[in-house]
């Protein structure tokens, strides 16, 4: 098998496994916390941001989504009070997305669930294999 064929096989397998893991995490988070993995990732990124807020375009870049896709994603999250719009202190023209207190609570609870489900999903790997997998994923450009 050629290197390009092997690379294509790896990418296809990675895509399939990512979809499977995402589905399992979506189901787990949704059943307990009422959010999916994508909403969790929004909350995770905002929770790590300075003052818990980012410009929509920066959030889109972090999520690997378009700005319009993030806007569509945020509407229901705003409606249920997980995130809110905020103004930039430096530039009134800039609109920020900010995690709310309710969003922080859901995020904290969902993080515990995510850690537990992740341990279950990766339970067949040793700590060394997990570290190697993480290192390999980080090296993909």
Q: Where are the domains of the chain?
A: 6-139
pLDDT by residue (tens digit) across 13-41?
Answer: 999 999 999 999 999 999 999 999 999 99
Angle, in degrees to the nearest 10, between helices 56-63 and 37-48: 120
pLDDT above 90 coverage of the chain, percent: 84
Coil/strand/helix, residue 85: strand
> What confidence score (pLDDT) does residue 8 get?
93
pTM of the model: 0.87
pLDDT by residue (tens digit) across 71-98?
Answer: 999 999 999 999 999 876 776 667 899 9
CATH class of domain segment(s) 6-139: mainly alpha
> What confidence score (pLDDT) does residue 86 get?
85
Q: How many CB atoms lie within 10 A of CB 63?
A: 15
């Amino acid at each position: 098998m050629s290197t390009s064929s092997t690379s294509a096989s790896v990418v296809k397998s990675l895509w399939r496994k990512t979809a499977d893991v995402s589905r399992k995490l979506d189901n787990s988070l949704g059943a307990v916390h009422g959010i999916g993995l994508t909403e969790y990732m929004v909350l995770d990124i905002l929770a790590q941001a300075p003052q818990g807020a980012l410009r929509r375009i920066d959030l889109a870049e972090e999520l690997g989504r378009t700005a319009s896709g993030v806007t569509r994603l945020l509407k229901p999250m705003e409606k249920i009070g997980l995130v809110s719009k905020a103004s930039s202190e430096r530039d009134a023209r800039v609109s920020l997305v900010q995690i709310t207190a309710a969003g922080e609570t859901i995020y904290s609870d969902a993080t515990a669930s995510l850690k537990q489900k992740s341990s279950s999903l990766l339970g067949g790997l040793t700590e060394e294999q997990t570290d190697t997998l993480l290192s390999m994923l980080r090296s993909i450009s």
